[in-house]
Amino acid sequence: MLLRGTEALTAAAREGTAIPGFVAYNLETVQGIVAAAETSGRPILLQAGASAFRHTGRTALMNLALDAARRSTAALGVHLDHSRDLDEVAACVDAGYTSVMVDGSHLPFAENVALTREAVRRAHDAGVWVEAELGALAGDEDVSTGATAAGGSMTDPEQAAEFTAATGVDALAVAVGNVHGFTADPVRLDLDRLERIHALVPVPLVLHGASGLPGEQLLGAVRRGVAKVNVNAELRRAYLAAVAGALPEALPGADTVAVWTAGRDAVAATALRITETLAPGATPS
């Protein structure tokens, strides 16, 4: 069933847990994420777009994700991730997405405010909640390795409070040392900065680039107001490793189903593990 509204997000913030946002690129990753939601009994956001649209086409992936969520017994939101295009935001809102992220983090502050405010207006008119980003993460959201912490910019706590008030956004993604993709050196989050942001910002916080973060860092962020955690690279790595492992036996008979099944099962197992990590001691809904 579709998870609409911000109630699950605000409940997670109140409980000291977090909802995972898992990025999907194709049928098998969608199915794996849905399976994790059904097994865990926890709410999950199925993130379809915007970069994945370049592979599947927007309509195909939108329809796939929405149909899977509607047919599932689990509470699944369908979320547009990292969109810089208001027309794309409007298309996903019209299609039935439950939330969207407008990413103006590459823009000067005033332009980010203007872009986000317009996305909020369009989405709220349809009952869809909005995530935005302030600060910039290093790394590439679609490439798993080779990232470094250099090139990002940290979120300023006072500016975050100003941004939230000026835009009416429902959730705010922040940069506190987190990086898209896996890094050669361990990532250390600036948890003190995150705590200051949490004290000043009245909406749930979002952590992007969570793949590979040590458990104590991840849970430290959750305890400081992070109610949504994005995971992409970790699912991709699990999927590709499973496919690579299944290929030697599958190739002689051209058993594509065995390969796709291995990838789907690996995504489901990884997503389930992360979902449970983000909700320690929580009672399944």
Residues noted as catalytic: 81
For the record, the structure tokens of 150 come out as 């250099």
Q: Give the Å distances, CA to CA, from 57 to 9, 61, 179.
A: 29, 7, 27
Q: Torsions phi, psi of 57, nearest 5?
A: 90, 140
Residue 106 burial (CB count, 10 A): 10
**Coil/strand/helix, residue 176:** coil
Question: What is the rounded CA–CA span in Å between residue 236 and residue 122?
Answer: 32
Pick from 144, 138, 137, 140: nearest CA to 239: 144
Residues near 84 by Cβ (< 8 Å), separated by ≥ 6? 50, 102, 103, 104, 106, 115
